[in-house]
Homo-oligomer: A and B are copies of this chain.
Amino acid sequence: MTQTSPIRPATRDAIIEAAFRTWSADPAASLEEIATLAGVGRATLHRHFAGREDLLEQLGLLARAEMEERANAACIGATSHTDALRRIMAAMIALGDRHWFLARAFPPAGTGAAPEERRTEARFLSVIAEATEEGTFHPDCPPTWIATSFDHLIHAAWGEVREGRLTHSQAAGLAWSTLTRGLSGGLAGGLAGSAVRTQGPARP
């Protein structure tokens, strides 16, 4: 296990950033590649982290902690649950590499998620339920679909920012409006018991 007091914080941070960046693009990248990108020797990487598994694990912990902290900070001053969700989305887009790392590079968690993760998920779903009460999402829309769309639109937005096609605020705005407008209407597709086939919404 990594020692609790980092040897040289700047070096350790460089490794962590390089690892997030490299592994979110290519989960199979070697430690050599990460060390190179961090501007350190591979032996140094091994001094800071007990090995590949340890680095992965630390990144997982850090990603979750950082995302939680940022989400909580984003909620400060929120005027409604809906506002909170909007702020969380923007905060998560800024942490897109962490988000993507967890989705793409982190070892599959297996069937038993950690209790902490389950708690976070439950809290998130309850915020969604509250936002639905506020009128943001249609009552027929499955909360799990809202949550899943939320996550995937964060990824989409982050990708646009990373590719330089959108600024962060543009991407955040688009992701948010896609989510809220997309999920505020009634449902097509048989979920409400009728298979009404829509041609697409009329232009406003």
Contact = CB atoms under 8 A, between A and B. Distances in A.
A149 B144 contact: no
B142 A148 contact: no
Contacts of A201: 135-136, 180-181, 184
B170 A200 contact: no
Given A182-B181, A184-B201, A148 B159 contact: yes
Interface in A118-176: 131, 134-136, 138, 141-142, 144-145, 148-149, 151-153, 155-156, 159-160, 165-167, 169-174, 176
Interface string A76-98: 00001011001000000000000
Contacts of A178: 145, 149, 178-179, 182-183
Interface residues of A, number: 62
A144 B160 contact: yes
A136 B189 contact: no
A135 B198 CA distance: 13
Contacts of A189: 169-174, 176-177
Contact of A185 (B166, B181, B188, B191): B181
A177 B173 contact: no
Interface string A181-204: 111111111110001001111111
A190 B169 contact: yes
Interface of A: 25-28, 80, 82-83, 86, 104, 107-108, 131, 134-136, 138, 141-142, 144-145, 148-149, 151-153, 155-156, 159-160, 165-167, 169-174, 176-191, 195, 198-204
